[in-house]
Amino acid sequence: MTLRAGFIGLGAMGLPMAANLAKAGFPVTATDVDPAARARAAAVPGIAIGDTPAALARNCDVVFTCLPSVESVEAVYLGAGGLAAAARPGLVTAECSTIDSAMARALAARMQEGGAGHIETLLVGRPPESQAAQLYFVVSGARDLAERISPLLAAMGRAWRHVGPNGAANTIKLLQNGLGYVYAVATAEALALGRVAGVDVGAMIDVIQNGGGIGWSKFFDLHAKGMAAGRDEGWGRLYIAAKDTAALLQEAQRSGLPLPLIEETCRTFAAASAAGLAKAEFTAVARVLEARAGRTLFAETAEEMPVRGGTA
């Protein structure tokens, strides 16, 4: 039997995922709170536009949710006309958004109260990977549910890995993202210190990238030059990083472990968001260092730029 797929959240990641399901021949019904997003989806062959999340739950076998914030996840699952209101045996909900593990387990329990199955299908990849059906899925929840929806995952990605019970995928994804965001703050600090010390920052980047030392990372390869130049190169938005680091801090606090790097990373991204950088690329977190230092540090010709004031 061909699975009927629902999709809620038609942004830069969600719309290509829904389009790939339709391209693979699955009946797809999708929706989004944004009328423009619904209009874009309606133009994709094979995608029908639905009404409320509850309506999708009643008419689809599997409903994926790919949402930008904790508040939007709560609204789609628990709000009026939400998925929980239409939970039923045979329905599987698959949450792609990065949230903290306690919330993931609570959503699973709420859907199970109505007889539905719930699974987490966390995404590793960017919009280009979503468009090319090359996402990697980190999956948690009942293994039989993962197997049941695996044809849908195969239509949207290159591979998937089951990592444990509900909540496990969220913890692993937060840890992966958290490492990247720690790298972001550490890279910004290294570049700032190099610039203030008067070294050739371009030469410094070249040495780290090509010298074979332990300072190299994939993050540094992808982002150091753009960060040093203060460029927005179209990677993820800072408000997503602020959300993820806040969720990671919750995980850290529940653990009882003293984790000062995670705490400082969360504070720095929160400061960047509060400073009006929420919609900037996440590497704009470097601007917090500028505010703290009272001078421009991240630009192609930073030494020629005017001194900035303010604190963060």
- Which residues does the annotation mark as catalytic? 173
* DSSP summary character for residue 276: I
Sheet holding 28-31, edge to edge: 47-49, 28-31, 5-8, 62-65, 92-95, 117-124, 135-140, 157-162
Tokens linked to 145: 């549910």
- Report phi then psi at 278, rounded to 5: -55, -35
Buried-exposed string 45-82: b where 16+ CB fall within 10 A, e elsewhere: eebeebebbbebbebbbbbbbbbbebebbbbbbebeeb
The three-state DSSP-derived secondary structure of 128-158 is HHHHCCCEEEEEECCHHHHHHHHHHHHHHEE
Max CA pair span of the chain: 66
Rg (CA), the chain: 21
Provide the 8-state DSSP code for 237.
B
Q: What is the C-alpha to C-alpha distance for residues 302 and 272, in angstroms, rounded to an integer?
A: 20
- Whole-angstrom CA distances from 91 to 6, 46, 148 are 11, 21, 11
Give the residue from 107, 49, 114 showing the smallest Cα distance to 75.
107
* DSSP strands (E only) in the chain: 5-8, 28-31, 47-49, 62-65, 92-95, 117-124, 135-140, 157-162
Q: Which token pair is 159?
A: 């591979």
> In the numeric block, which tokens belong to residue 6?
């629902």
